[in-house]
Amino acid sequence: MSEIPKDLSYTKTHEWIDYDGDGTCTVGITDYAQSSLGDLVFVELPETGTKVGAGDAVAVVESVKAASDIYAPLDGEIAEINEQLEDSPELVNEDPFGEGWLFKINVSDPDAVENLLDADTYEGIVEDEED
Amino acid sequence: MAKRTPLYDAHVADNAKLVDFAGWDMPIDYGSQIAEHKAVRESAGMFDVSHMAVVDITGSESRVFLRRVLANDVVKINEDGRALYTCMLNTRGGVIDDLIVYHLAGELYRIVVNAATTEKDLAWLHSQGRDFEVQIQHRQDLAIIAVQGPRGRDLGASVLDDELGAAAMQLKPFRVASQGDRSVGRTGYTGEDGFELVLPADEAVSAWKTLRDIGVAPVGLGARDTLRLEAGLNLYGQDMDEDRTPLESGLGWTVAFKPADREFVGREALEYIREQGVAEKLVGLVLEGRGVMRSHAAVRAADSDADEKQAKGEVTSGSYAPSLSRSIGLARVPAEWEERVEVCLRGKWLPARIVAYPFVRNGKSRIDD
């Protein structure tokens, strides 16, 4: 069973979102997502300053097995990217909710965070996919 | 329900991620495909390949029969204890399967064929064998463990009894030792040294546990694929199939045209194609820069503006090469193409280089940076 921290928000496309309460959220992929993809070998991140809309494909994570798009969970602007992943994509496998974060977004509408999935709902989605 | 090998419980105990492979529940990895790949290149890893079929062929005409049904010539392994890689062709010269044939002793030959093609192969062998005095026996009572890597032979031999273990350590590459139903071939599918052990099912289970205890890493089918690709070894169903001849699949070297009077199945078709010249060839590709080539990706000439549908080449096997930290592949392209091409990855055309393969041999890169 994969790890699903209670204090984070989620999308049905397996991104996690950590909102700091002050306009910025950190985004990564879940433990379930990294485990399904297997060893990551490349991570392609957007440039900082890029305007993004919720649901836009903004990054790509590529494993030995497959490439997968990462979607922006909220409208906003890319504030920061995890530059360590350029040389160490395996951080996403090793620590998906910590050092393996992908990018930060300055969100344009903080209230939209409320529309993301909570941990229990996301857990239900993972259980359905595992069946 | 999917079939299970005798080692299924051992895979579950090792937290393997199991997938359906040709109707079998098989381990794709035990946690990290890259770590497993590196274990084989640097030390020793073991694969459960019991889903592949062991077929024993015996009888007074076994050799004559195999000279008819295989494109390579078993005359090369007349001496007991030798092995040969070969294709089995249909009358059009297309590849029904690729396999290794082991000459165990006298009239007894053992072949190991792919899991996905087992039923088709057996049907073909039986139909072709009708006019020969041969017995064809599918040995479902036997399991296969491949122990591969620079330490593969030392560790692999340690699970055999003294007599067979000693005989195994004397083997040169592509030789085989046998004892009763057991056989040990110095063969493999990784580009590393090692053994392929064919053992009765219960012995295989204890051998696997012993090998685990002495430090041989269990390796799944995921790493098996990246290892064989780095070693430049074709995968049946991807790099060749019934609609392609060995001549178009980088396997011309496995077809024995001499002696000219050996009438093997597919010979006529291959001679015709050889005379006409092949239109397409299988080449090695190295991707320049980041990204991973995947099977079926379109390939075009470097100076072309063809779109994906117009492109005349196709990646047949593509992956990330853990030993090289870049993407490599095999691709089928027009015979005249050389050097530079472009590969379509997720809608973008990226430059790639045509190279001679294997890409990696005995742990060392053969590709220039």
Write out pLDDT tens, residues B279-333: 999 999 999 989 999 999 999 999 899 999 999 999 999 999 999 999 999 999 9
Flag whether residue B226 sits within 8 Å of chain A, measured between CB atoms. Answer: yes
- Tell me whether residues B32 and A93 touch, CB distance under 8 A: yes
Distance from CA of A92 to the nearest CA of B (A): 13
- Cβ contact (<8 Å) for A62 and B292? yes
- Cα B150 from Cα A15, distance rounded (Å): 41
Question: Which CATH superfamily groups domain B279-365?
Answer: Aminomethyltransferase beta-barrel domains (2.40.30.110)
Element (H, E) at B230: helix B221-230
Question: What's the rounded mean pLDDT across residues A99-124?
Answer: 96
DSSP of B234-280: --BTTTB-TTS-GGGTT-GGG----STT---TTHHHHHHHHHH--SE
| Residue % of chain B over a pLDDT of 90 | 96
Most A CBs within 10 Å, among B290, B294, B326, to test the A interface: B290
**Cβ pair B34:A39 closer than 8 A:** yes
What is the total residue count of chain A? 131
* Whole-number Å distance between alpha carbons of B147 and B183: 13
Strands of chain A, DSSP E:
9-10, 15-19, 24-29, 40-44, 51-52, 57-63, 67-71, 76-81, 103-107
Distance from the A107 Cα atom to the nearest Cα atom in chain B, whole angstroms: 28
Report pLDDT for B78. Answer: 97
Point out the least confidently predicted range of B77-81, B126-130, B260-264, B346-350: B346-350
Count of helices and strands (H, E) across chain B:
9, 21
State yes or no: pLDDT of A1 exceeds 90: no
* Model confidence at B160: pLDDT above 80: yes
- pLDDT per residue as tens digits for the range B225-266: 999 999 999 999 999 999 999 999 999 999 999 999 999 999
Whether the CB of B348 is below 8 Å from some CB of chain A: the reply is no
% of chain A at pLDDT higher than 70:
98
> Given an 8 Å threshold on Cβ–Cβ distance, is B290 in contact with A38?
no
Q: Which of B334, B294, B366, B338 is nearest to A66 (CA)?
A: B294
Residues 20-79 of A with CB under 8 A from B: 38-39, 41-42, 44, 60, 62, 64-67
Q: Which residues of B touch A62 (CB under 8 A)?
A: 291-292, 320
Report the pLDDT value the prediction gives residue A129, as an integer from 0 to 100. Answer: 87
B 298-337 residues with CB < 8 A to A: 319-320, 322
Which residue of chain A has the CA closest to B33?
A39
Minimal CA separation from B293 to chain A, in Å: 10
Helix H segments across A28-114?
Answer: 31-37, 90-94
CA A70 centroid distance within chain:
7
Choose the mutation target among A1, A40, A41, A70 for the interface with B, i.e. most B CBs under 10 Å: A41
| B103, pLDDT greater than 80 | yes
Question: Does residue A131 register a pLDDT over 80?
Answer: no
